[in-house]
Each structure stands twice: as structure tokens, then as C-alpha cells.
Structure 1
Amino acid sequence: MFVITPSNKPANHPNVAFGKTGVLMINLGTPSGTDYWSMRRYLNEFLSDKRVIEYPQAIWQPILQLMILTKRPFTAGQAYRSIWMEEADESPLAYYTRETAKGMTERFGDQLVFDYAMRYGDPAIEDRLIAMKDAGCDRILILPLYPQYSAATTGTVVDKVCDTLKKMRWQPAIRVVPSFHDHPVYTREIAAGILETAARLTQKPDRVLLSFHGVPQSYLKKGDPYHCFCQVTARLVGQELSQHGLETEISFQSRFGPEEWLQPYSADRFKEMPAEGVKHLLVASPGFVADCVETLEEIADEGREDFMEAGGETFTFSPCLNISENAFRLYGEIIKTELSGWVDVHTEQHTPVLQVV
């Protein structure tokens, strides 16, 4: 059977690129700036997603446009300014996501084409998918950077990818990385990062709080598996940490609106723990692979303040995977598994060493 390749195209063949395999790493998104209009554009796109806010649009949009988006850009902008990377003029999430894609390119060389996109804001999923296809990627692995699947995160990424495919004459073959909440490398690297942080402390933590982003309770009741996946992650990470004498518990952060969300709430636990005898607290956010406003401002800043005012003595935040070797090991293992049958890729293997507290 004769197969057309980029090197043996007939003279009259259309001048198109093909034959490459790509990996598109997708994160939540970030505003382009901290000013009112940048924040409003970002929040409008985010909060208008029907997967994120499941209220009827006829009711929700007037509330969003006339009430929420007149005030929230100011408060959200203030939160982003507290963590904004001034020299690079970008958010930490934008920086870490871009540098992750660069780091993966360095590790895999010309075997794969790596790119990144944001579900909300720039670079847009549609733009990067089209760019990858134009660059010759006729097979693309979609890697949503959400360890625990939810319709409001991974689900809406897949929606956007499919919307883009609908517009393409020549669609690339697509695979989507499934939830990796229980992937042994993921839970091991999360535990390793926490242990590395704990090993630098002079006082052993009384408790490790694993804080995940919350969702409304109604999503769980409708069949969203997110809550269950968070519990599995917390249990597996907790088992690893318990071998080093660290006790863990789970909580949920970032509650929005009057509806009941997944509990216990992280904000409540920060205020309650000191009275329960937890004076030295270490907090990690395993639901985020890169530090962002939810981890740096909401947890490492506000959470610390609440805990210390309630009588805590030490508060330590363990960074997300970001662009650590822990992160690159994880993504490398996921990519090699999910590309099976498409391409045989390889990269240098490393075995993480857990530091005992």
C-alpha cells in the first residue's frame, strides 16, 4: 500500500503539512491584566459558560451582567494584583502553563509538537488547535490540566475542542487524557512535593490539609464524579504521607454564591483548627497543577491570615507541581501511556525520592 508522506508527495499534491503528532496542554485560563476591563472580559467568558454556572441563562445573564460584573472585576483585580508577576506582566498560571509546554518540548525533542491553551482567555483553544493542524499535526493529544474530572473543567474543554473540530475540513485525530486523580505517578509526586516542603520546616506539621476547588452540591447529585475523585486523591496521598507520620484531611475552597457547595469548607477549617489543637498547619492544593490566584491569594494569603488570627502558630503552603521535575515526570508518564499505538515516545526516566520528615 502506498502511503503519502511529507517527503514523497506527488507534484500536484496540495501544499499541506501533515504526519506529526502533537500534545495540547490546556489549563483554566487567566485575565490578560488586572485592570477592570481585562478582568471583566475574563470573568464574563468564564461565568457565561453553561457548564460552570448551570442556572437558566434567561435568569443568570441579567444577574451576571448587571450585578456581578459591575463589582467583581474590582475585587478579583485586587486579588490578581497581589500575585501578579510584574516583571513578566502576567499571572503565575500563564507563566507556569507556558513554561510547562516548553519544558516538555525540551524533554521529548522533535518526537512531539507541544503547545498550550487556556479554556478562558488567551491563547484560545481554537487558535492553538488550528495552528497545530497547520503545522502538520494530524494526531493531537488533548491534555486537560485538571487531575480530577468535572463537567465544569475537563468537560467544557472537550466541548470547546469539539466546537473547533466542527469548523475543520480536515480534522485531526483526537485523543483526550482521562482523569488522572488516581494515577500512581500523580499521587506519588503530590506526596513527594508535600514531603519536600515539610522537610524544610523546623516544626513538624500537626496536620496536612488537602484543599480542593469546590463545586455546588447539586453537581454531585446530578452525577458529576468530581467529589468522588477528590476523595480518592486525598486518600491515596494521605496513605503515602501517613508512612512518614503526617496526618491529612480534605476540604474544599473557592465557594461562590448562596448555593451549598462541597464541604467541609477550607475557609471554615482554617478558623476551626487551632481550637482543635492544630497549631502547625501545612496546606496543599492537589486539584491544581499550577499555582494561581486560588492557591496563592486565597490559600497562602487569606487562609494563612484566618488560621493565624484563630490562634495558629505556623502556616505553610506547599506549592503546586508548577514546573518542577515532579511535574515533568508526571506528564511524561501520562503522555507515553496515552499515545500508545500512535507513536513510541521516550524520555529520560527518573525515580522520585520521598524525603522523610
Structure 2
Amino acid sequence: IMRQAREYCAQSGAPKLTIVDPWYDLDSYIAWHATRIKEELATGSYDKIIMSYHGVPERAVHEPASYRAQCERTTHAIMERVGDIPYEMTFQSKFGPGKWLGPATIDRMAELPGEGARNILLLTPGFFADCIETLQEIDSQNQEVFKAAGGVEFRRIAPPNADATAGQMLADIYRDAVA
């Protein structure tokens, strides 16, 4: 997608656009998530942390290996700051035919209680703001599946949304894009 956007912008007569490179390793974003997790861990006990990212089809055009690697780097960077607690990375929002990156978040919600993870803390680092995929799909559908499978505590950390530091994170992203 980034390559196609750059090719479009290079065409004669194309509007001037600023293409923002992926910011999966932005320090302020990593720190924000790690801080939120630590705050939750200080007030609750969780068997596992789940980091759910938006899924993509495994077709080559979507560069799934590169995307998965970016999600893994984000996840590991966050957890390096959090400490030693079990965690895993999943993918949500599958629609349409074909194989998608996995494991699917909703499938893991059905399996986790049987594996002993009955109290989970879930976050969606790929989302900067809440949307139907976080509010409906995660908060409602995935939580229902988790609890129906024997899960007890399902806690989601909301994305930055309008957090006081969100504006600075966006400024960091923009500054890096125009530097």
C-alpha cells in the first residue's frame, strides 16, 4: 500500500500528499501502551495479556509477512517495558474469503479459558482510536465468546483516543514523516 501511494504521488498532476511511514516502533506509542498495562497490572491480576491487531489476508499484495513482523516488533517492544507476564498476539476483523493472518482473536477467546487463562487483559495496539472493531467486535463479541467459554475477567485497555498524550504522539508521527 505504501509503495502504491508513493507511485500515485509521483504522477504528474497528483495532489501533494505526505505519506506517513509505518510507526509501529514509535517510542511514545510503545511507552503509552506499556504504561497503561502497568497501571492495570497494579490494580488487577491477569493470567495473560492479549494484543489484538487488525488482520489482513495472507495474499502477497498485502505483504502479510512484513505486517506480521511489524506487529511482532510492537508487541515485543511493549512487553519488554512491562516485564514478565504471559502474552500473545492475535488478529481480528477477518472478512471475506481466503486465509488471513492468525491466530484469530475470536478463536483464541474461545480457547484461552480452557488453557487456564480465565482473566485476560486485552489491548489493540494497531488502533489509535476506538471504532466499531474495538467497541463492537472486541468489547462485545469477543468478550461474549470468552465468557461463554469459561472466562471470568475480560478487561480491554482502550486506544489513546483523546488521551492527553495522544496529540503529542500524533505530532511525533507527523514530525518523523516530514523530517
TM-score in same-fold range (> 0.5): yes
Instruction: State the Cα deviation string for residues 152-203 of structure 1 (Å, max 9, x = none).
Output: xx567x37973997256xxx5x54221111122221112222333444x4x3
Between the two structures, name the one with larger relative contact order (CA 8 Å, sep ≥ 6): 2
Given the superposition, is the C-alpha separation of residues 159 and 229 from structure 1 closer, same or farther in structure 2, using an over 3 Å criterion? same
Taking a change above 3 Å as real, the CA distance of residues 322 and 222 of structure 1, as seen in their structure-2 partners, is closer
Q: Map residues 74-223 of structure 1 onto 2, 5 A cutoff.
A: 151=1, 158=5, 162=9, 166=13, 172=16, 174-199=17-42, 201=43, 203-219=44-60
Q: Distance in 1 between matches of 2:41 and 2:49?
A: 10
2:162 aligned with 1:323: yes
Residue 110 of structure 2 corresponds to: 271
How far apart, in 1, do the equivalents of 2:64 and 2:139 lie?
32
Q: How does 1:216-255 map to 2 (within 5 A)?
A: 216-219=57-60, 225-242=66-83, 245-255=84-94
Partner residue, 1:11: none
Provide TM-score, normalisation by structure 2: 0.86
Take 1:295 and 1:179, find their aligned partners in 2: how far apart are those partners?
A: 21
Alpha-carbon contact 2:57-2:64 (below 8 Å) kept: no
Q: How many angstroms apart in 2 are the aligned matches of 1:177 and 1:289? A: 14
Contact 2:6 2:19 (8 Å CA) reproduced: no
Q: Tell me how large the CA RMSD over aligned residues is.
A: 2.7
Larger of the two Rg values belongs to structure: 1
Q: CA deviation at 1:223?
A: 6.7
Question: Per-residue displacement from partner, 1:42-99 (whole Å, max 9, x unpaired)?
Answer: xxxxxxxxxxxxxxxxxxxxxxxxxxxxxxxxxxxxxxxxxxxxxxxxxxxxxxxxxx
Q: Distance in 1 between matches of 2:119 and 2:64?
A: 37
C-alpha displacement of 1:307: 0.5
CA deviation after TM superposition for structure 1 residue 256, in Å = 1.1
Q: Is the 8 A contact 2:58 2:101 kept in 1?
A: yes
Structure 2 CA distance, aligned partners of 1:334 and 1:189?
14
Q: Tell whether the 8 Å contact from 2:64 to 2:101 is kept in structure 1 after alignment.
A: no
Provide the C-alpha distance between the structure 2 equivalents of 1:178 and 1:333, rounded to a whole number of angstroms.
12
- The alpha-carbon deviation at position 204 of structure 1 amounts to 1.0
| Consecutive unaligned residues in structure 2, runs of 5 or more | none
Question: How far did residue 296 of structure 1 move?
Answer: 0.7
Report the 3-state secondary structure (helix = DSSP H, G, I; strand = E; otherwise coil) of the residue aligned with 2:165: helix
